[in-house]
Amino acid sequence: MTGRIVTIILSVGLALGATLLATRASAIRLTGIHQGYEPVQPIAFSHRLHAGDLQVPCLYCHSGAGSSRYAGIPAVTTCMNCHRFVTTTFGAVRAEDDLARQENRKPRLLISPELQKLYDALGIDPVSGLPAPDKTPSPIAWVKVHNVPAFTYFDHRGHVTAGVPCQQCHGPVETMERVRQVETLSMGWCVNCHRQVNRTGVGGKRVNASIDCVTCHY
């Protein structure tokens, strides 16, 4: 009797498990692959706004990608090139302008809370643009989204030189509010692309994408 109950429980469990697995098969992946990783960043920086709407070129901020192994996160001073003047969204500025006109006063300087974090990091007063004595500069700890293992040496330089679009590996970043890992970044994914471009070329140019192990592992 008990044996039968156990069998029934087991079969029900197995059926449920199989159903669950079948519906979520796409979620099963190898360890170390973090496709879909979308961490919260210390500042809610929007790539959709900057790279998409405003069409800031990727290499304007990630300037290392053209000359270094690492694309790099821009230094805060790079942000300040624009955000010395732009302290909040256009909509908020216009609303404040309208309000000020109605109230017949000079518009106030509005600072978005996200950008305030930027000024705090640099330790400056956004109004004067001068170092604020009560603030200590401290760098911003962004969360890295696209990680390759420590035994893999990926070099941005070669890919940018060859003309591979950034979106090839990073996905449509210009549409993302918060950056998400789109591709698997697995070795098979890398090697497949290397094989393919050796046949098709990149942007009409012939390329020699090596598939030797030491291209990445040393």
Partner 1 sequence: MPTQNRKRYWKSREERDGAPDPAATDREFFDTPAVTGAAYTTRRGFLTAAGFGLAGAALSSCSRAPVVQAIPYLVQPEEVTPGRPYFYASTCGGCSAGCGLIVRNRDGRPVKLEGNPDHPASRGGLCAAGQASILGLYDSQRLTAPMRDGQRASWADVDGAIRTTLDDIRTQGGAVRFLTGTVTSPTVRSLIGAFLKPFPNARHVAYDALSTSALLDACEQTHGARVLPRLRFDRAEVIVSFDADFLGTWISPVEYTVGYSAGRTLRGDPPRLSYHAQFESRMSLTGGRADWRIALAPAEIGIVIGHLAERLARMADMPLAPGALPPAPVPAARLDELADRLWRARGRSLVVCASQDTSLQVLCNAMNHAVGAYGTTIDVERPSYQRAGNDRDLEALRDELSAGGVAALFIAGVNPVYDLPDGDGLAQALRTVPLVISFADHVDETSSVARYVCPDRHFLECWSDTEAVAGVVSLTQPVIRPLGESRQLIESLAVWSGAPMSACDLVRAHWTQQIYPRRRTDAPFRDFWERAVHDGVVEVTPDAPAVRPFGEAARGVMVPEAPPLPDGDFALVLYPTVGMLDGRHAHNPWLHELPDPTTKVTWDNYASFSPEAAGRIGIADGDVVRLESSDGLTGATKVIELSAHLQPGQHDRVVAVALGYGRMGTDRFAKVGPQWIEGRTTVGTNGLIGVSAAGFRTLANGVLRDTGRLVRVTKTGRTRPLAATQSHHMIAVPAALAPAGGARRPIVEETTLAAYVKDPTAGSLGHAEPTADLWPPDHPYTGHRWAMVVDLNACTGCAACVIGCQVENNVPVVGRDEVRRHREMHWIRIDRYYADGDDGGVDVIHQPMLCQHCEHASCEVVCPVLATVHSSEGLNQQIYNRCVGTRYCANNCPYKVRRFNWFDYPREDRLQNLVLNPDVVVRSRGVMEKCSMCIQRIQNARIEAARLGQPLGPNAVETACQQSCPARAITFGDANDPESPVSQARTSPRYFRVLAELNVKPAVGYLRLVRHRPEDGGERRHG
Looking at residue 155, its amino acid is: D
Q: Tell me: does residue 195 bind partner 1 (CB under 8 A).
A: no
131 beta partners: 124
Q: Tell me: does residue 68 bind partner 1 (CB under 8 A).
A: yes
Specify the residue, 18 or 211, whose C-beta has the smaller distance to partner 1: 211
Q: Tell me: does residue 155 bind partner 1 (CB under 8 A).
A: yes
Report angle CA 70, 195, 159 to the nearest 5 degrees: 20
Report, in Å, the least distance between residue 38 CB and partner 1. 13
Q: Tell me: does residue 63 bind partner 1 (CB under 8 A).
A: yes
Q: Tell me: does residue 76 bind partner 1 (CB under 8 A).
A: yes
CA atoms lying within 13 Å on the CB side of residue 46: 13
Looking at residue 32, its amino acid is: G
Compute CA distances 212 → 191, 193, 195, 197, 218, whole Å: 10, 14, 11, 15, 11
Q: Residues 35, 38, 46, 78: which binds partner 1 (CB under 8 A)? A: 78
Q: Tell me: does residue 186 bind partner 1 (CB under 8 A).
A: no
Yes or no: say if 170 and 65 are a contact pair by the CB < 8 Å rule.
Answer: no
**Binding stretches for partner 1 (CB under 8 A):** 31-32, 34, 37, 39, 63-64, 66-70, 72-78, 121-122, 137, 139-144, 147, 149-153, 155, 157-158, 161-162, 208, 210, 212-215, 217-218
